[in-house]
Amino acid sequence: MREYQDLNAKRRSRIPAVLWPFWAPGPEEFYRWRVQLDCGCIAEVLTRGKEDLPSESRWPDAVSEASLPAAQMLCWHEDSPPAPYRDIAEWGDRREVSFPADPAEPPDWADPQTWAVLRHAEPHTSAFWTVTLSCGHVTDVVSELGWKPADGLRRVSAKRLQAMIAEFEEFWASDPDGQDRREREHTKRMLAEGWPSPAREHLCHACPQVRFIVAFQRTGWLVPRKPERKLPKPPSRASLERRLRQVEAEAARLRDQLAQLDPPESITNAR
C-alpha cells in the first residue's frame, strides 16, 4: 500500500486531477497477485481489478520506460547473458536532445586517439528515435538531425568501406581480444551491409533480464473489501414439507390436550 501511494503521489503531481481516474486511480481499484517467473522467482503485482490476469498484462520496462510484451517481466540476475543485438522492426517517435561540448580529457573507456575521433568539441544536438526491436522490446536509436526512416539507411562509399575493412582486419590481427565475439560479429555484419547509418541492429538490454510468467495466485484486493451480507438461502420443498408435518403433529397434540381439559357436555348440563 505504501509503495503504491508513493508512486501515485508522484504521478498525480505531474497530471491534472481530471485525469487521475485514468492514469493515477486510487488504490481501491487494484487487485493483488503473486506470480511465479520462469527463473523461479516469486513477485507480487497489482492489476486493475480482479478480472485482469497478470499473464495478459503488459508490465513496464524500467530502462526504456515502455511496456514489455504481455506475460513478460524484468527480473535482474547477475549471471544473465550479455545483451544481444536485435534488428529494428519499427520506427516510432522522434525527439531532439541537445548536449554540451565533451570534455578534453578522455573517459575511462577510451584512449586519447579514439576520444579525439569521437569527441564533440562544440555543443551539439542529436535526434533520438524510439524503436521497437524484433524481440518486441523498445529502445532509443540516434540519427542525424535531418534523417527520417523514409530516407532509408545511408551507407559509406565503396572506397571508404574497403578502407574500413582493412582497418578492422589489421585491428583484429594485432589485438585479438580488442573486441569480444558479440561485438566482432556485429562489426562484420555492419561491414557486410556497407556500414549503414543508422545501424540496422542494436543492443537489447531488456532481453537478458526478461522472464516469463508461468503461474499466478490471487492474493486479494489492495484495499480489503467489507464482507458482503449473505442473504438467507430459501428452504427446499422437502424441508418445508417436513416442517409442515411437524407443525401439524404438534397442532394435533395440542388439540388433544385441550379436549382433555374441557368437561363432558352431559355433566355440565346436569349441574
CA nearest to 60, candidates 46, 80, 74: 74
Residue 42 forms part of a structural domain:
yes
The answer on 149 and 88 residing in a single domain is yes
pLDDT digits (tens, 9 = 90+) for 210-239: 999 999 999 999 998 887 777 778 888 888
11-19, long-range: CB < 8 A, 24+ apart: none
| Total count of domains within the chain | 3
The answer on 177 and 115 residing in a single domain is no
The answer on 102 and 42 residing in a single domain is no
Over range 157-169, report the average pLDDT.
Answer: 95
**One-letter identity of residue 78:** E
Q: pLDDT band at residue 133, thresholds of 50, 70 and 90?
A: very high
Residue 239 forms part of a structural domain:
no
- Report how far residue 266's alpha carbon sits from residue 205's, in angstroms, rounded to the nearest whole number: 111
pLDDT at 266: 54
pLDDT digits (tens, 9 = 90+) for 76-122: 999 999 999 999 999 999 999 999 999 988 888 788 887 888 888 89
State the Cα torsion 66-71-76-80 to the nearest 10°: -110
The answer on 137 and 101 residing in a single domain is yes
**Strand 85-99 to strand 201-203: parallel, antiparallel, or no bridges (unpaired)?**
antiparallel
Tell whether the model's pLDDT for residue 58 goes beyond 80: yes
Residue 160 forms part of a structural domain:
yes
Q: Which helix (H) or strand (E) holds 97?
A: strand 85-99
Residue 257 forms part of a structural domain:
no
User: Where is pLDDT greater, at 117 or 147?
Assistant: 147
pTM for the predicted model, two decimal places: 0.73
pLDDT at 264: 62
Asked whether 24 and 8 are in contact (CB, 8 A), the reply is yes
Residue 261 forms part of a structural domain:
no
Over range 236-243, report the average pLDDT.
Answer: 86
The answer on 145 and 161 residing in a single domain is no
Residue 129 forms part of a structural domain:
yes
Instruction: Name which of 57-61, 64-68, 128-132 the model is least confident about.
Output: 64-68
The answer on 144 and 92 residing in a single domain is yes
pLDDT at 265: 60
The answer on 36 and 21 residing in a single domain is yes
Tell whether the model's pLDDT for residue 206 goes beyond 70: yes
Over range 22-32, report the average pLDDT.
Answer: 91
Q: Which domain holds residue 182?
A: 155-195
Per the DSSP assignment, residues forming a β-bridge with 60 are 67
Determine the distance from the C-alpha atom of residue 92 to the mean position of all C-alpha atoms in its chain, rounded to a whole number.
19
Q: Which residues contact residue 5 at a Cβ distance below 8 angstroms, ignoring those fewer than 6 apart?
A: 27
Instruction: Name which of 53-57, 129-133, 216-220, 221-225 the model is least confident about.
Output: 221-225
The answer on 160 and 135 residing in a single domain is no
